[in-house]
Chain A
Amino acid sequence: MKYILPLAFLLALMPCVPSANAEENLAFKVQCEGKSEWDREARTFELNEGVKLTYGDMVMTCEWLLVFMDESNRRPLSLSAKGYSKNAGPEEVAKGRLEFKWGRYALRCRQVEAELPSDRQHSDEGDRL
């Protein structure tokens, strides 16, 4: 069952984590200027146009975003994002780029797929690539 959400959409999910700081750090927030859909059966949020996501130390701006949630629908498990809108023509696809910052990574590309961390921020200690 799909729900169409309002044009200016703000989603803020707080996963169940022990401390107040950790809660704030892992708050999952998405804004979008276009159409947003929540598919309860598939446990996905689909957001279109002017999408901005923040999650812990992750910040992304893109034109299309699909977020897969866990069974409780409170925690995001993974995401797919594109730098162009869902029904983009070849010209928009060619120009479309998303911007993605995650910890000490910074990316600009057309598409991203990512598994999301559950109980920690993007590790500053380990992922020094």
Chain B
Amino acid sequence: MTASDDVWAKLASGYTVHCAKLEIEPSEDGKSAKARLSSDKYLERCRIAGENFVATESSGLIIYENGRYLHTGRDIELVFDVEPSSELLPPDLEKEKLEKLTVSAERFSLNPSLQLFRFENAEVSFGPAKMSGPVLEVRTNEDLSAPKSVECSGTGRSRITYQAMSLASDSLSASFTDEGKLGAFTAIGSCEIMAVNSEDSSIAAKCESVTYEPGLITLLPKEGEQVHMASEIEGWSGVASKVEFMRKGDRWDHRAYNATITKE
């Protein structure tokens, strides 16, 4: 079946969609089916509301097979923790994304059955935090209503910015609290971090790993090496066996262990 020209639909799975063209293709034996969503020059984005999330995408393919769904496509913006609409119309994404976990990505595959959402060349934002990477996997709770963890991996740098702090590394993983806030994160491999202190000076550091738990960021070097740090504004550089950034208001103070500081 092909529905075209400004299509609003509620599918059997509970998905609601708005797109330019919707093609539904059941298999011969009736045990699986595909739904293809596409846009056109008049309706440039398809809107879709699934189980506790809403998204816009340029095109998408939903496959139902063996009791499971797989949703793949290109150029997605997705907001978690949004109630599915009881009507034909998907909820308003612009309103929802102001306060919910939002992901934008060039390519994606959503596997609601496994509570796993995989995004490529993606950026995820949640409140004041933003995370990006070549491959980004979001795991959610069972009813897909809230994210549990995000992992950034793949070839290329993963990045996170959070309250006057930015960090780039080879890999990054974060977990969320039950309220959907950033709970903790760990970055491993060639970490470069920059944090702004209460005097509005920025302090940069290079190290092997970074961990964050609420209020405290800890930087550690590779074994046998040291954490390198510097402040161009304050005109100093140094090394230390361990560095901590402590939250102070909306800025970060720092503490260095076994440090050697050189003033320019």
Chain A residues with CB under 8 Å of chain B are 97, 100, 102-115, 120, 123-129
Known: A97-B6, A107-B8, A126-B26. 17 other contacts (CB 8 A): A103-B12, A105-B11, A106-B9, A107-B22, A109-B3, A109-B4, A111-B5, A112-B3, A120-B30, A124-B12, A126-B27, A126-B30, A127-B24, A128-B33, A128-B64, A129-B24, A129-B69
The listed residue (A108, A111, A114, A126) touching B9 by CB distance below 8 A is A108
The listed residue (A97, A112, A129) touching B11 by CB distance below 8 A is A129
Say whether B2 faces chain A, with CB atoms less than 8 Å apart: yes
**Once the chains bind, are A112 and B1 in contact (CB under 8 Å)?**
yes
Subset of 22 A-B contacts with CB under 8 Å: A102-B1, A105-B11, A105-B12, A106-B9, A107-B7, A107-B8, A108-B8, A108-B9, A109-B5, A110-B5, A111-B3, A114-B1, A120-B30, A123-B26, A125-B31, A126-B29, A126-B31, A127-B33, A127-B64, A128-B13, A129-B13, A129-B34
Chain B residues with CB under 8 Å of chain A are 1-13, 15, 22, 24, 26-27, 29-35, 62, 64, 69, 88
**Once the chains bind, are B10 and A106 in contact (CB under 8 Å)?**
yes
Cα–Cα distance between A110 and B8 once the two chains are bound (Å): 10
CB-CB under 8 A from B29, the residues of chain A are 126
**Once the chains bind, are B64 and A129 in contact (CB under 8 Å)?**
yes
Smallest CB–CB gap between B113 and chain A, Å? 12
Cα–Cα distance between A102 and B11 once the two chains are bound (Å): 10
CB-CB under 8 A from A112, the residues of chain B are 1-4
CB-CB under 8 A from A113, the residues of chain B are 1-2, 4
Given the known A-B contacts A108-B88, A120-B30, A123-B26, are A129 and B5 also in contact in the complex, defined by CB atoms under 8 Å?
Answer: no
CB-CB under 8 A from B10, the residues of chain A are 105-107
Smallest CB–CB gap between B156 and chain A, Å? 34
The listed residue (B7, B13, B30, B34) touching A109 by CB distance below 8 A is B7
CB-CB under 8 A from B31, the residues of chain A are 123, 125-126
Interface centre among B1, B8, B32 (most CB of A within 10 A): B1
Cα–Cα distance between A108 and B6 once the two chains are bound (Å): 8
**Once the chains bind, are A105 and B9 in contact (CB under 8 Å)?**
yes
Cα–Cα distance between A18 and B120 once the two chains are bound (Å): 52
Cα–Cα distance between A125 and B30 once the two chains are bound (Å): 7
Smallest CB–CB gap between A119 and chain B, Å? 11
CB-CB under 8 A from A104, the residues of chain B are 11-12
Smallest CB–CB gap between A15 and chain B, Å? 18
CB-CB under 8 A from B88, the residues of chain A are 106, 108
Cα–Cα distance between A114 and B4 once the two chains are bound (Å): 11
**Once the chains bind, are B30 and A123 in contact (CB under 8 Å)?**
yes
Smallest CB–CB gap between B131 and chain A, Å? 31
Interface centre among B6, B32, B69 (most CB of A within 10 A): B6
Cα–Cα distance between A103 and B12 once the two chains are bound (Å): 8
Cα–Cα distance between A123 and B29 once the two chains are bound (Å): 9
Smallest CB–CB gap between A87 and chain B, Å? 17
CB-CB under 8 A from B1, the residues of chain A are 102, 112-115
Cα–Cα distance between A106 and B1 once the two chains are bound (Å): 12
Smallest CB–CB gap between A70 and chain B, Å? 18
Smallest CB–CB gap between B30 and chain A, Å? 4
The listed residue (B7, B11, B30, B34) touching A108 by CB distance below 8 A is B7
